[in-house]
Structure 1
Amino acid sequence: MAHGPLTTLARQWARMPVIARIGAIYVLGRLITTGLLSWAAHLSGPMSRFGADADLGRFVLGWDAQWYWLVAWAGYPSVLPLTESGQVAENAWAFMPVYAYLAQAVGFPFGSWGAGAFLISLVAGFFASVMLHRLLRERIGSTAALWAVAFFAWGPLAALFHVGYAESLFVLLLLIALDLVARRRFAWVYPVIAVMAFTRPGILAFALYLGLYGILRWVRRRTDPLPAAHVVHIIALGALATATGFAWQGFAALATGDAGAYLATELSWRRNWGAGSDGFIPFEGWVQGAQFWFGQWGMPQWWGPIALVVLLIVVAGALIFAPQVRRLGPDLRLWSASYLLYLLAVFFPQSSTFRLLMPLTPLWGAVAVPRSRGYRIGVLVLCVVGQWLWIYPMYALGNTFWQVP
């Protein structure tokens, strides 16, 4: 019986080792993203921050990548810059050192910080894909886990695997830490936390996750034994994550002599959106943001907080009751809830909102659970469309006062 080329291809795919399949998915995804970024470079005009002669190299160094480059080149300021009104201006203290200096080291043989940043983001994205499959395969099955990898590698934020941002490295470290906790290899989590804490903000969410995980283990101790050694590790890891989560504020205070240096720096970005001048109040940012955006959209501002409450109820309901999410296990649901609560407490919703959702990567597993091939292909198509909807305004249009040097 003759077999068509698709049947032959499917059989060859089935015989490939899983790591090879992950690699093929990731490489094909990178080719698609490269094509979209090239298209954005072609469409970039004189009003874009990248100019009419934009290329992929300039995209690597665009937006926040400039801050990481500045950290590697000049370090952190000992005197906080001020605006004309005397408020703390945007500065390098908002950006953690691991990615910045690691890119400097990797890029040294190439004579380019940007080359190092690109390689770290690209390689970290691949290993994050490997870790995502490892984390999900025993929960939803290997095939569904491969689809989750495809959604992650081809997803709306896939450009972050090509540019000088710390997200892909942070997600890799996060997935390693979540997998180690799931497998109860707690001793290996300590160094991962220490590195993750200084890669990008978010380690306090991991501290909250460890606390909730400890409570879950305690509640289930009769059916899932909780040895004393596990109790010690969970408490110690939570303490380490909490301490390192606040350590950067201490470093900024010591270096500048200003106890509020880090928070004032973070709030300086909010002022671009008409908020942040009255100091940091937990959970206030999303309320202000909801009011701001509904006003921008021509709707009554008081609708914003109402919509925010509805959104929170929907998200909480999905994490608790949605069967696809429940398939991921309570630990990944606890992480997702912890990180969302962290964002709700500290973030002001603006142009970086979608990028900051990348640590929720394990939830791609829930998206991959339905077995319909048509559904999965449809999601993959939407992922690529989502890439362009993010790449086009950020890179083809990207208009700002700060031009790429």
Structure 2
Amino acid sequence: MAYPSNSTNESQELGTGLSQIINSQDIDLGLNMVDIEGSMISTFADRVNDDSVTSLSQDLFSDSTIGQEVLSGSKNLTGKTPSVEELLVPGVLFTVALSGDQSGSSAGWVYSDKLKKLFVKHEGTCAFTVKVECDSNSPMTSWYVRVMLVFTLPEFNHIPIQRCHNHRAQDAPECANISMHIIRCQNRRTQYIGCDGGAPFEKRCAVRVELEDNCATLALQFMCQNSCFKPAKLTGIVFTLEDTYGNVCGRRTIPIKICTNYRRDKLNEENSLRSGNMPSKSLDRNRPHKRNHNAATVGTSQAAVASFGKGRMKRERVSIEPCRISLTLPSPRMAKRVFEAAIGMISNAVLRAVSEQDKATLMTYIQTIREERSSTLDGCSQDSEIL
């Protein structure tokens, strides 16, 4: 703690306190007085137990950071962009493992060993076991784990992932204060931190959990889908290990996709990888963004360009991720055009679909839109001049 050199009263008060310590028979402390840039900094050579320094209490050392030990290799990310790179700090072993059975039809998640990627159902829950092991030379501290969702491509790291308004509107009233959080945690020690649209590490929406006995099982629920995220779709769930002072002492990242049909998307991406059509990271960085919306079909559409007709139809896959929207348009005529455009787009998807089940599902969407169009425009004039 620094003391101004021109403060006589504080110097006298400090001298009195130090005299009490030096003359005490109960404790033996070394004291160094170091003058740095006109300020007097006092540091104790040995730690003083709180109940041994009652004469100093908190009045003289209210801002003191004596006893703070920082691990070599740890990082302070305050004001910086979150990273997805793995971080290992000497003396600290930080592990994250999936727990639970993924084979059941109602599991809600599945992990691909081929892709090293987690596929989770929207609003599904997945349990992670986090554990910390330290060697004898590491300082004793309380450990915390922060979990956040981050874009994995470097050019999008600085952009926070925000929950879409459609999914926010589905939250119960008691969740209004955390409606911006995509990741929810059922652990009793959970803290929701960050703010809506926060870009720096400390302001990103995340959950933070204090570990009990250096271990915890985090039941995480995911409240939005990758198809809702802008401007990118490739994401990872980042676990950062932090000490009491907020220094990052470990980091683990798991690529993740949150979707409606998680098992189908896993098989699609694995098949694309097997056929050599899975894009590499370097390819993703150089391609226009619109080519990356569905990792399972990137490359497949390129191969289809070289063929025609029936061959192309077999290669195309249709991704169905239901999303309901509500629009208020300036005229019935414009509303009619929106309905017709939607019907046309889905009809085109029916022609490209390979599975008869997908075709039947898409036709139900067309029928629903037609009924909505009929009920919305019934009795309305469609002769408005607004186009």
Q: State if a TM-score over 0.5 links the two structures.
A: no
Q: Relative contact order, CA 8 A, sep 6+: which one is greater?
A: 1
For Structure 1 versus Structure 2, the TM-score category normalised by the shorter chain is: under 0.3
When Rg is computed on C-alpha atoms for both structures, the one with the higher figure is 2
TM-score (norm 2): 0.22
TM-score (norm 1): 0.21
